[in-house]
A and B are shown apart, each in its own frame.
Chain A
């Protein structure tokens, strides 16, 4: 099986712009979660989508949003970028149901730099 793919791998944006990141989960997986990784705050949960519905949400401002499509692919959007949004954004795929429903497999991440 192919792993989790994320595009683009690297992005440079300026303050005030918006950005959209994409994630394709492992085939057959219906849950996609997004995390932010920074040296200062570590790995923090953003949100989870399961069958096109947001199932969990972390403590991030409304500038961070996401969605999931019928083929389980997911996108996250950050509007009005701030310098502090510079981070590695990781997508994790899991079956979402069944015995191993919450085993999460991460993609390589998208490195976002905000100037």
Chain B
């Protein structure tokens, strides 16, 4: 019940295109859903996060869509740039402290 499933595992998109990554969770106690970006040799960097009381949140070129009834959420990267080439992780956390359960990651390659 603690799993977070992420898809696809990898993604190739042309510069200027839209990257879409999907995640699904099982545990309804989760109430915090962040996305992280990780470059090789670096720690994950917090990109954007959402809570279940909203269905969408946008920050710059990054948008999270959240569907509470389906227990799914997704990250959209608009106008993808070569500098966005990285591994993206979704995660889910509950009210009891800071334990995050991560998805398996999506490797995004943006071709110029």
Contact = CB atoms under 8 A, between A and B. Distances in A.
A96 B46 contact: no
A50 B105 contact: no
B89 A109 contact: no
Interface residues of B, number: 23
Interface residues of A, number: 26
A105 B96 CA distance: 18
B4 to A, nearest CB: 10
Given A42-B105, A43-B44, A43-B89, A103 B49 contact: yes
Interface string B22-64: 0000000000101010000111111001000000000000000
Contact of A48 (B36, B43, B44, B97): B97
B88 interface: no
Nearest to B89: A43
12 contacts: A42-B102, A42-B104, A43-B102, A44-B102, A55-B97, A90-B44, A103-B46, A103-B49, A105-B46, A106-B43, A106-B45, A109-B42
